[in-house]
Structure 1
Amino acid sequence: MKSLQTLLVLGLLSSFQLTNAQFTDDINSNRPGRSMMAFSVGKSVFQTETGINYVNENHNTLDYKASGFMAEFDLRWGLFFEQLELIGEFQYQNDSYTSDIIDKNRSALKKTLFGAKYLVYDPFKNYEEKPNLYSWKANHRFKWRQMIPAVAVYGGVNLNFSDNPFNFAPVDIEEPKISPKAMLIAQNHFGSRWVLVTNIAYNKIGTDFASIDYILTLTRGFNKQWSGFIENQGFMGDYYSDGVFRMGAAYLFNKDMQIDASIGKNLKGTPNLFTGGIGFSWRFTKNYKEVKIEKDNGSKMDKKMKKKGEKEAKKRKDAVEE
């Protein structure tokens, strides 16, 4: 989850000259929300994010009901560069489907997606915000720079090698085996406690199942261990369009482990969806090599004032010696 720990670490990094490192002191998980954050886990870091959810579905028009569970398993691996991350996403659903004429069990890999994300712009890089020693108001006023987000791009491939009963398409429409996905990711940090992540995606490009999707996730850190989120996800496709709202919380168990819980509800009744689940995130950092961070030497004005001070000190020393 986009937790308080991430905010604090990134805030500290903004006071240094070199901020290419994506690695944070505490685990930085996308869970329990569904959005993907702009920053990666860090070069050579391996991270897993898993969850189990109760799923309840009923359709007002087709008059059916379904309930069961959905398992989620995401793999994140920082590779080659600090800004690059490889990602594997898997969803498996198993439920009991009941209508007036059918009573059956459904099970399938609902989603198999492999992709890569790359951070193209980091507003914290080479930026130092110095406190105003003479004005409390200046230090606490709204800073327009917060409106500038970190930006990443994502490209991936959906794989479907089995019949998928969860795609909402007519039975005579077959889902393609391979389809691409592209996404733009933006991440804003408002102060030390709030993070807004925006995902805009074009999924299953060039197929009958193509859709334009978005996710907006707002996260707040309450203290060093606890954080909460609210989220809105939208789907706009030919076979399925909907809006889903979620909320939940995450607890930092230790610097490499996080547990979470969330619930979600959609807007429409065709079908009506409810989900509730728990999750666990863990990262492996043994192979990570810390990126050396060098402190900034200061602004041009600081250097000028320092040089002026050194000259004045030299003049006083020369006057005393004379």
Structure 2
Amino acid sequence: MGYYVSKKHVNLLIMIVLFSLPWLGYSQYTDIINSNRPGLSVSAYAVGTNVLQAEVGIGIEQRDHSRLATESNILGTDISLRYGLIFETLEIIYEGTFDHQNKTQLNTGVTITNSDFSRNRLGLKFLIFDPFKDPERNKPNLYSWRANNKFLLKNLIPAISVYAGANFVFGDNPYYRNEDIVSPRVMVATQSTVHPRWVLISNIAYDRIGTEFPEWNYTLSLSHTLKNPKWSIFLENQGIKSDRYADALLRTGVAHLLGENFQVDFNVGASYKDTPSRLFGAVGMSYRIDMHQDKPIAIESQNPQGGGGPINKNSMLKKNRKNNRKAKKQSSSEIDF
């Protein structure tokens, strides 16, 4: 049976494309690395085109289950690879966690060792709304500290991105018995700059769709940049709900910027319950290979004497970034939280 494409469908497609163009052209790139670590929340923003970013951590966990009379020691390694694709608002993300677990049955003293991926997924994230897409409207005021640091109601309006991807289970994985090899995952991520030094991120995800044990997952993270802007702290709450496993977790930690492309971090956390109880900590690092280039944009100069030929906007972008850094430096030198 054929499908008839009407003029109405064509017009609708054209409108969608035209509406999308402003979002595709707005830059998500930042001069300083923007990592999702040390928490598990995912930023609404992409890393920027031609930026390859690796976020790696090594952690330990003590997990005890009062009802099953088991205790586990877990050594885990997690990695996230992010790359900016085609548009400034789009990135592809691989997330993997490999765990080595020693589980002891307290009643019998028998210890079972498991090693495999507890997380192995690939997906795309796309920014669909950014309240700060106009850099001219939202650039810092170089002459007023108060104007840059006062609370603004508009800052509560979040940037919003959507994620679509899949989980992969290969072989006889002890963490996912008899589960489908591939299962879809979708997520909505929001990010609000509630204050120049406070950022609020929320994630709501529906995971392992179509399997015997689909899972709802939310993450709420609040981060704060200290007086020395190279240091930041965060507090994060995560909730997990499925028929196989449900929990509520709390994390906190610190991150330190060693350079424009290099960050190190540390975090600790625990669960609220004892089925199982969880106590964990991790150290990590984030590094990016920055191959990003601003696209030259020809605009007409506003020379009152005429001669309004095309000029390259790259110099203007670099000047804006320099002004941003100057404003941030001024703010950090005049206030102590």
2:51 to 42, 45, 67: 45
2:67 to 61, 69, 77: 61
Count of aligned residue pairs for this structure pair? 273
| CA distances 1:36-67 after superposition (whole Å, capped 9, x unpaired) | 10111110100000000011111000000110
1:112 and 2:117 aligned:
no
User: 1:294 and 1:119, CA in 2 relative to 1: closer, same or farther beyond 3 A?
Assistant: farther
CA contact 1:21–1:291 (8 Å) conserved in 2: no
Q: How does 1:247-266 map to 2 (within 5 A)?
A: 247-266=252-271
| CA distances 1:185-233 after superposition (whole Å, capped 9, x unpaired) | 1000022100000000000111112011100010000022100000000
CA contact 2:47–2:84 (8 Å) conserved in 1: yes
Q: How does 1:149-164 map to 2 (within 5 A)?
A: 149-164=158-173
CA contact 1:67–1:96 (8 Å) conserved in 2: yes
1:176 and 2:185 aligned:
no
Q: How does 1:179-190 map to 2 (within 5 A)?
A: 179-190=183-194
Question: 2 CA distance for matches of 1:28 and 1:262?
Answer: 17
Question: 2 CA distance for matches of 1:116 and 1:176?
Answer: 21
Q: CA shift at 1:132, angstroms?
A: 9.3
CA contact 1:227–1:250 (8 Å) conserved in 2: yes
User: 1:224 and 1:141, CA in 2 relative to 1: closer, same or farther beyond 3 A?
Assistant: closer
Q: TM-score, normalised by structure 2?
A: 0.76
User: 1:261 and 1:138, CA in 2 relative to 1: closer, same or farther beyond 3 A?
Assistant: closer
Q: TM-score, normalised by structure 1?
A: 0.79
Q: How does 1:17-166 map to 2 (within 5 A)?
A: 20-99=26-105, 100-101=107-108, 102-126=110-134, 128-129=137-138, 141-166=150-175
User: 1:293 and 1:282, CA in 2 relative to 1: closer, same or farther beyond 3 A?
Assistant: farther
> Which runs of 5 or more residues in structure 1 are unaligned?
1-17, 168-172, 298-322
Instruction: Look up the SS of the partner of 1:110 in the other structure.
Output: strand
Q: Percent identity?
A: 40
Q: CA shift at 1:292, angstroms?
A: 5.0
Instruction: Look up the SS of the partner of 2:41 in the other structure.
Output: coil
1:245 and 2:250 aligned:
yes
Q: CA shift at 1:22, angstroms?
A: 1.0
* Counterpart position of 2:210: 206
Bigger relative CO (Cα 8 Å, ≥ 6 apart): 1
Question: 2 CA distance for matches of 1:244 and 1:292?
Answer: 46
User: 1:268 and 1:148, CA in 2 relative to 1: closer, same or farther beyond 3 A?
Assistant: same
User: 1:69 and 1:134, CA in 2 relative to 1: closer, same or farther beyond 3 A?
Assistant: closer
User: 1:213 and 1:293, CA in 2 relative to 1: closer, same or farther beyond 3 A?
Assistant: farther
Q: CA shift at 1:126, angstroms?
A: 2.2
CA contact 1:250–1:261 (8 Å) conserved in 2: yes
Give the residue type in structure 2 aligned to 1:166.
Y
Question: 1 CA distance for matches of 2:85 and 2:208?
Answer: 25
CA contact 1:19–1:126 (8 Å) conserved in 2: no
| CA distances 1:258-297 after superposition (whole Å, capped 9, x unpaired) | 0000001011111111111100100001x311245899x9
* Counterpart position of 1:220: 224
User: 1:74 and 1:134, CA in 2 relative to 1: closer, same or farther beyond 3 A?
Assistant: closer
> Which runs of 5 or more residues in structure 2 are unaligned?
1-23, 302-337
Question: 2 CA distance for matches of 1:236 and 1:71?
Answer: 24
Q: CA shift at 1:137, angstroms?
A: 7.6
| CA distances 1:7-55 after superposition (whole Å, capped 9, x unpaired) | xxxxxxxxxxx98111111111000100110111110100000000011
* Counterpart position of 1:230: 235
User: 1:294 and 1:225, CA in 2 relative to 1: closer, same or farther beyond 3 A?
Assistant: farther
Question: Which has the higher Rg, Structure 1 or Structure 2?
Answer: 1
Moved more, 123-132 or 218-227: 123-132
* Counterpart position of 2:7: none
Question: 2 CA distance for matches of 1:32 and 1:253?
Answer: 15
